[in-house]
Copies of this chain bind each other. A is one copy, B any other.
Amino acid sequence: MSVAIENFVKAIYKNGKRNNNDTKPGNIAKELGISNAAATDMAKNLATKDLLKYQKYKPLELTDKGTKMALSVIRKHRLWEALLFKLFDMSLHDIHREAELLEHQTSDLLAEKISEYLGNPKFDPHGDPIPNANGEITTSDTSISLSNANEGKSYTISRLMSDDKEFFEFCAQNGLKYGNTLVVSKQFTNNKMTQILINNNTILLNQDFTSIIYVNENN
């Protein structure tokens, strides 16, 4: 199975997990930077390989086989991120970029070796869960989006759910890092803006950012 196929299946899986939940070809095409026509073509092709169910004009639905493939690629991606993060001094964005390529050239054996070496971690440096070799995911159910956090409470950052360079740079500059502690000092109307205290600094976040930062309340 090719890189194009792995990325396609992964994009469907990821879009399926998001709020919008739109897995129609056009959305997948946008995600992958290819034309809508190419996405439709690929969808038909993958249907014959039993990786997804294709019905004209309907959202694409991964089969069990397709889901398994997506999770295998995601597992490899996150294991690479965890390994590169541990070994090298590189920005999260650079690490993400490297993992995006390495994930497709990694045997199951190597993935196991990486996992073992890291002590079979359940989360990568963004706090994204690492599926195990059977495709099972541990999700920390207690974590909430920072936009839903409460004023005056203290939280631990459990996930930075993004691939965006600017976001990572902002995080790096402001101490927003997996495992760090913050206090919500003020939530503005409709949680459109959130003021937080972190590393003795006060910072103001808009909803684009607070919606992709996940936290667990400290007790």
Contact = CB atoms under 8 A, between A and B. Distances in A.
Given A94-B109, A109-B94, A88 B104 contact: no
A98 B117 contact: no
A102 B102 CA distance: 7
A117 B86 CA distance: 11
Nearest to A88: B113
A110 interface: yes
Contacts of A1: none
B107 A98 contact: yes
A154 B166 CA distance: 59
A88 B107 contact: no
Number of copies: 2
A37 interface: no
Contacts of A98: 105-107, 110
B90 A101 contact: no
A90 B113 CA distance: 8
Contacts of A106: 98, 101-102
A21 B156 CA distance: 62
Contacts of A107: 97-98
Nearest to A95: B110
Given A90-B109, A98-B110, 6 more contacts: A87-B113, A88-B113, A88-B116, A88-B117, A94-B109, A102-B102
26 contacts: A84-B110, A84-B113, A87-B113, A87-B117, A88-B110, A88-B113, A88-B114, A88-B116, A88-B117, A89-B113, A90-B109, A90-B110, A90-B113, A94-B109, A97-B107, A98-B105, A98-B106, A98-B107, A98-B110, A101-B105, A101-B106, A102-B102, A102-B105, A102-B106, A104-B105, A105-B105
